[in-house]
Amino acid sequence: MATVAKRVWTDSKGRKHEAWRVGYTDKCGKRRFVQKGTKREAEAYRIKVEGELVRGTHTADAASITVGDACKLWLSAAEEGGCSRSTLKTYGEIVNGHVVPFVGSTKLSRLDAPAVVDFRNELIAAGRSQSMVRKAVRHLSMVLNEAVSLGLVAQNVAQGVRVRHRRVQGTRRKALAKRAEIPSQEHLRAMLEAADRLGNEDPRLPVMLRVVMGAGLRASELRAFSWDNSDLSAKSLTVDRSADRWNEIGAPKSDAGYRTIPIGPMLATSLKAWKLQCPPSPGNLMFPNRPRGRQWRSSVGQTSGGPIKQHTMAALLLKVQVAAGIAIDSGERTPTGLPVWKLRYDWHHLRHVAASNWLAQGVDLKRLQVWIGHENIQLTIDVYGHLMADERRDATLAAGAEAALLA
């Protein structure tokens, strides 16, 4: 049991002071003392400590580290656990930018559920987006889970704290993911025709667009895709890796990223033709980075670079859209007076094209989830569910159901 005792002393200048000291024995058998300014504060702390000791959730202040130190330990554990550079960068940005500035100096022993709620509310008051608040609370919970596993704290007090969805026009927002925006058929044709025209300059372009539109690969997967994973006779592509922002090739975005995707005969034919002129690369890449300053014709037979860089991917697609006449004029001008163009569609929009075409051909949602590489079917429904609307077929089904009822 914890005890409360009054303590009186005289300082070096002869002034008298008094305080109330809480004494207790922790779970390791060590005697601990905590000093409070008033008897009421001491009694409240005694009750708190006794409850925590009974539940086995108490950590003494003197033996506790700060949340900031716990964040460092968690990031180190993530790095040792083999997390990719991209993931580690994201982890670091969230904890250092949105966790440490608010609760980094707080000791783990003094962090409780109300304190985490206050942290959440402070983030909202500071103007953080709902999505970022949710990420910050979730990452704090991950930090505390690591601290629990290391024996630095007895429980994860952030586990039960939630960031509720804002209500939109009186209803709960069902999904975080945005509905897929599908380019119009007119724009798709314009992009493919423009890519074909640009094919003499860069023969990768028409094939890259067709692979993303036909197989739904992510840009990171396209950049890392190897000919070794293509079976053009069986007309299928197998995804088992991706390239990050530093051009390092590693595992796909998630376990669901490992998948085999069927392709059509026209895409298989295009890939066979491209394979004959594709320059070799160390990873036998389907779309290697072109050697600087070299034409494709002269680079065949020579070793090219690794994956295409992220910014180069965006530049290639912008070039296609400018040639197709669908790029967006930003309103800005270059020093020579030329317009500065912006992408109307990014590579992810073209990936949606594959999903929408599969749905139009009657592919069921479970198969779509697998082919597109989503971790769960709810995400697939949130992103593509609106594409399944078919008013004419709905009316036919309703009429059939009514006829069966009244027969």
Say yes or no: 79 and 167 in one domain.
yes
Q: Is the pLDDT of residue 47 over 50?
A: yes
Q: Is residue 14 included in any domain, yes or no? A: yes
Q: Is residue 178 included in any domain, yes or no? A: no
The reported pLDDT for the residue numbered 299 is: 42
Lowest mean pLDDT among 91-100, 174-183, 278-287, 318-327: 174-183
- The enclosing domain of 317 has a CATH number of 1.10.443.10
Q: Is residue 179 included in any domain, yes or no? A: no
Q: Is the pLDDT of residue 106 over 60?
A: yes
What is the band of 302 on the pLDDT scale with cuts at 50, 70, 90? very low
Say yes or no: 193 and 166 in one domain.
no
- Residue in 169, 102, 109, 104 with CA at minimum distance from that of residue 132: 102
- The enclosing domain of 167 has a CATH number of 1.10.150.130
Beta strands per DSSP E along 235-364: 236-239, 242-243, 249-250, 259-262, 328-333, 339-342
Quick: pLDDT tens for 251-294: 887 889 999 999 999 999 999 999 999 988 888 999 998 755 55
Q: Is the pLDDT of residue 180 over 50?
A: yes
The reported pLDDT for the residue numbered 8 is: 85
What is the band of 304 on the pLDDT scale with cuts at 50, 70, 90? low
Say yes or no: 221 and 308 in one domain.
yes
Count of structural domains, the chain = 4
Say yes or no: 256 and 341 in one domain.
yes
- Residue in 49, 58, 51, 3 with CA at minimum distance from that of residue 28: 58
What are all long-range contacts of 150-157, with beta carbons under 8 Å and residues at least 24 apart?
Answer: 150/73, 152/59, 152/64, 152/65, 152/70, 152/73, 152/108, 153/59, 153/64, 153/70, 153/108, 153/109, 153/111, 154/52, 154/56, 154/57, 154/58, 154/59, 155/57, 157/111, 157/112, 157/113, 157/115, 157/116
The reported pLDDT for the residue numbered 109 is: 81
Quick: pLDDT tens for 306-365: 899 999 999 999 999 999 999 999 999 999 999 999 999 999 999 999 999 999 898 999
Q: Is the pLDDT of residue 391 over 70?
A: no
Q: With 0-12 CB in 10 A as exposed, 13-18 as middle and 19+ as buried, what is 82?
A: exposed
Say yes or no: 347 and 203 in one domain.
yes
- Residue in 38, 62, 49 with CA at minimum distance from that of residue 3: 49
Say yes or no: 209 and 340 in one domain.
yes
Say yes or no: 338 and 192 in one domain.
yes
User: Region 169-183: what's the mean pLDDT?
Assistant: 60
Confirm if 373 and 259 have CB atoms less than 8 A apart. yes
**SS3 of 194, please?**
helix
Q: Is residue 93 included in any domain, yes or no? A: yes
Quick: pLDDT tens for 137-163: 999 999 999 988 887 887 899 998 888
- List CB contacts of 372: < 8 A, sequence separation 6 or more: 216, 351, 354, 355, 380
When the pLDDT of each residue in the chain is averaged and rounded to a whole number, the result is: 86
Q: Is residue 180 included in any domain, yes or no? A: no
Say yes or no: 71 and 158 in one domain.
yes
Q: Is residue 198 included in any domain, yes or no? A: yes
Instruction: Calculate what percentage of the chain has a pLDDT beyond 70.
Output: 88
Comparison of pLDDT for 38 and 317, the residue scoring more: 317
The reported pLDDT for the residue numbered 176 is: 43
The reported pLDDT for the residue numbered 5 is: 85
Q: Is residue 79 included in any domain, yes or no? A: yes
Comparison of pLDDT for 23 and 257, the residue scoring more: 257
- Model pTM greater than 0.75? no
The reported pLDDT for the residue numbered 148 is: 87
Check the CA dihedral 353-358-364-367 and report its sign: negative
User: Region 379-403: what's the mean pLDDT?
Assistant: 76
Phi-psi sector, 25: left (phi>0), alpha (psi -120 to 50), beta: beta
Distance between CA atoms of residues 407 and 385, nearest Å: 33
Say yes or no: 194 and 237 in one domain.
yes
Q: Is the pLDDT of residue 392 over 70?
A: no
The alpha carbons of the chain give a radius of gyration, in whole angstroms, of: 30
* Containing structural domain, residue 287: 185-353
Lowest mean pLDDT among 90-104, 170-184, 241-255, 325-339: 170-184
What is the band of 63 on the pLDDT scale with cuts at 50, 70, 90? low
Say yes or no: 210 and 92 in one domain.
no
User: Region 386-395: what's the mean pLDDT?
Assistant: 68
- According to DSSP, residue 253 is labeled S
